[in-house]
Amino acid sequence: MDIQDLLLEIRQVEHGFKHIIEAGEKILAERDVNHFDVAVGLLSEESYQLRMLGTHLLGELSPVQPGALKILQTQVAADPNWRVQEMLAKAFDHYCLIIGYEHAVPIVREWLNIENVNVNRAVVEGLRIWTSRPYFNANPEIAITLISQHKANQSDYLRKSVGNALRDIRKKYPALIDHETAGWDLTDIKIKFTHKLVYKTQ
Per-residue pLDDT of the chain (202 residues; tens, 9 = 90+): 678 888 888 888 877 889 999 999 999 999 999 999 999 999 999 999 999 999 999 999 999 999 999 999 999 999 999 999 999 999 999 999 999 999 999 999 999 999 999 999 999 999 999 999 999 999 999 999 999 999 999 999 999 999 999 999 999 999 999 999 999 999 999 999 999 999 998 5
CA-to-CA separations, 33 to 2, 3, 26, 56, 139, in angstroms, rounded: 11, 10, 11, 16, 41
Whether 111 and 64 map to the same domain: the answer is no
The rounded distance, in Å, linking the Cα atoms of 116 and 131 is 24
DSSP 133: S
From 54, 85, 116, give the residue that closes a domain.
85
Check residue 97 and give its pLDDT: 98
Whether 104 and 202 map to the same domain: the answer is yes
In a domain, 95, yes or no: no
CA-to-CA separations, 139 to 81, 132, 146, 176, in angstroms, rounded: 33, 11, 11, 11
Check residue 1 and give its pLDDT: 60
Q: State pTM to two decimals.
A: 0.95
Q: What is the tally of structural domains in the chain?
A: 2
Q: For 129, what's the count of Cα atoms within 13 Å in the CB-facing half-sphere?
A: 10
Check residue 4 and give its pLDDT: 84
How far is residue 142 CA from its own chain's centroid? Answer: 18
Whether 10 and 52 map to the same domain: the answer is yes
